[in-house]
Amino acid sequence: MNCRNCGAAYGVGANFCAICGSRIWQGTPAANVQQPVTGLLRLHEGRAIAGVCAGLSWYYGWDLAAVRILTVLSAILIFPIGIIAYLVAWMVIPEAPLLVMQPVQQPMQQNPQT
């Protein structure tokens, strides 16, 4: 697989790119769709409510827990603005496409009956 920031190849268990140092999200949507995914998307993986926090953390390379904590703090401390901003982001940010996979047909095992 290739880093989405610099394009360098990285190993299977890598968390950061060895060339540019950017965080590599395990299970990125780009690995699940046919064309490369660019831009901010609401993800299906790591989703709690609408995927807004998961999408922001994937796009900017931030920690998902930190984004969720900042979202909750903004919803509490600046009450109407934080909630309205989350709802607007939910409506404006497009949802990541799902990969629909066909089930793999397993060959039938032939056991001779004796």
For residue 37, the model assigns a pLDDT of 59
Return d(Cα 58, Cα 66) in angstroms, integer. Answer: 12
Percent of the chain with pLDDT over 70: 74
Q: Which residues of 51-80 are buried (b: 16+ CB within 10 A; e: fewer)?
A: bbbbbbbbbeeeebeebbeebeeebeeeee
Q: What is the pLDDT of residues 44-68, one digit of tens each?
A: 888 889 999 999 998 998 999 999 9
pLDDT the model gives residue 51: 92
Q: Quick check: pTM over 0.75?
A: no
